[in-house]
Structure 1
Amino acid sequence: MKSPQLLLLFATVAIFECTHAAVLPERLQLNICKKSEDDYQACLLQAFEKARPHFLNGVPELDFPGIDPLVINVTSVDRTLNELISIKAVLKNVRVTGLGGVVINDLKVDLKNMIGEIRLTVPHCEMSMEHDVSGQLLIVPLRNKGYFRGNFSNIQMYMRAQFKKYKQADVEYFTVDKFDTKFRVGDGVIKIIAKNPDLQFTADLITNFYNENPRLVMDSISPIYNEYSNQVIKQEINNYLARVPAAEFLPE
């Protein structure tokens, strides 16, 4: 896909888990926020800033990879909205830099109903990858294998999650019951190089169409990457929650 949203969602998962992680190595344990905090939201914000350097570089004890650069070996998407918007893509050797500059714009926590909301901004990021894409993007057919580079700015991210508890072997765990996430990229410029030089014309067609109409392109495919990100982020968060008892994630 020719935009950064599907990749930024992995970084969003990392940021979200940073502020809620409970089973931490000793150097990070002081960042745990207790349920009894006078201002739980303020504690989370402070915890994020203190833990930020560690999560940028990765935390091996938690099997947590660094997010700047963010490296993804392979990911894929296969979705059709209508006859004008359909994308089937395999992305390999993805590398994203700039996510370390993420800014938390707003954070809301409702402990009684177990609901959390967060709004983030990434001022700028750069991305490179190998891609194999097919489908249709408005008036442009997507048929290309090659290499992609992009510079993107003012990336806005929003997540809202509602959690619930369940028991397993008499131990309570959290799981995400309802989840919603949305991404919006302010602007971007891309370059595509075809593996087969004879097909560079197609690569240039896609490149020029995007660069001349970035807002149109990104708004057109937004239902795809928002739906995809909802599924992937929810699953990733639940994978982490299932490892640790609820009392560890939210101590009294």
Structure 2
Amino acid sequence: MRSIFFFDSSHKLALLTFLALSSQWQVLAVDFPAPITKCHFGDEKCMIEQGQKLLNRAATGIPELDIPSIEPLVVEKIEMLGDKNSALKVDLVMTDVKFHNYTKPKITTIKGFTKDLSKPMKIVTQNINPRLTIKSKYKVDGNILVLPIKGEGELTLTLDNVKTRFTTTLHAEQRDGKQFLIIDNIKIETQVDKATTDMTNLFNGDKALSESILKVLNENWRVLSDELTPIINEAVANKLKEVMAKFFKDIPYEDYFLPE
């Protein structure tokens, strides 16, 4: 027997309202992308494990959150202007900068999530990356330890045992009755055990001059590292802010953790 249902105008209105609310609920009920799962609030061990999973997913991209692949992490341009009062009086422009192995660190700390959303939240994450390789096109002109350096070509910067601390400041914004996190700022601090630099086409390809200046540069690698690292960190922080904003955009903070 076939059942036939008739609806008057009030029933139609109720049905349309139900469908609209159901549709809105489906939009808001965005969960973490698989295989990332929720943790109990304050379970740092679990959050570190899920953070590692998130890095693995981000390496190939998360299409459902409109997050592109960040392996390698790409930054369009990094520019350093030489300080006349330092040992590194160099103008360096790096373009098409690619950070290889950026999603491979071991996360050691995740702290700062809070239940009080009435004030800004500060999340601190620390990790260790055995080796990070930065490749880019470059243009350089200036002096290193009074020695001239000039060239335009390909740059490879290899960083060993990179310890990184991320401090992310956020605030909550209410939308459709739920709280969503908005990133205000990301600060990145790094420590490096060793940095090795290679540049093609220094001094218009003069092999002897190139090998000589690269030897001096790598023997005094901290001179370059101390000047360039803060500039790199700022550029990376701006890029990561764009990526993380997409992750936070559609997932209500209330849905981050398992019920207690």
Among residues 156, 159, 163, which one is paired with 1:156 in the alignment? 163
- C-alpha distance in structure 1 between counterparts of 2:165 and 2:94, whole Å: 25
TM-score normalised by length of structure 1 = 0.69
- C-alpha distance in structure 1 between counterparts of 2:234 and 2:59, whole Å: 27
Matches within 5 A, 1:191-230: 191-194=198-201, 197-198=204-205, 203-230=210-237
For residue 32 of structure 1, what is the aligned residue in structure 2? 38
Letter in 1 for 2:64: E
Deviation at 1:229, TM superposition (A): 4.3
Work out whether 1:174 is the aligned partner of 2:181: yes
**CA-based RMSD:** 3.5
Contact 1:193/1:200 (8 A) holds in 2: no
For residue 185 of structure 1, what is the aligned residue in structure 2? 192
For residue 18 of structure 2, what is the aligned residue in structure 1? none
Cα distance change on mapping 1:129 and 1:202 into 2, 3 Å: farther
Unpaired runs of 5+ in structure 2?
A: 1-29
Residue correspondences, number? 223
Among residues 50, 53, 57, which one is paired with 1:54 in the alignment? 57
Contact 2:111/2:125 (8 A) holds in 1: yes
Which secondary structure state, in structure 2, belongs to the residue aligned with residue 48 of structure 1? helix
For residue 91 of structure 1, what is the aligned residue in structure 2? 95
Q: Provide, for residues 200-225 of structure 1, a one-character-per-residue CA deviation record: whole Å limited to 9, x for no partner.
A: 56644542222111123212434433
Percent identity over the alignment is: 17
Cα distance change on mapping 1:81 and 1:165 into 2, 3 Å: farther
Letter in 2 for 1:165: A
Q: Provide, for residues 148-200 of structure 1, a one-character-per-residue CA deviation record: whole Å limited to 9, x for no partner.
A: 23432101110112211235687643223354220222112222111874555
Work out whether 1:126 is the aligned partner of 2:119: no
- C-alpha distance in structure 1 between counterparts of 2:202 and 2:82, whole Å: 25
Name the structure where strand makes up a greater proportion of residues.
1
Cα distance change on mapping 1:102 and 1:43 into 2, 3 Å: same
Which secondary structure state, in structure 1, belongs to the residue aligned with residue 58 of structure 2? helix
Letter in 1 for 2:165: Y
Deviation at 1:124, TM superposition (A): 1.5
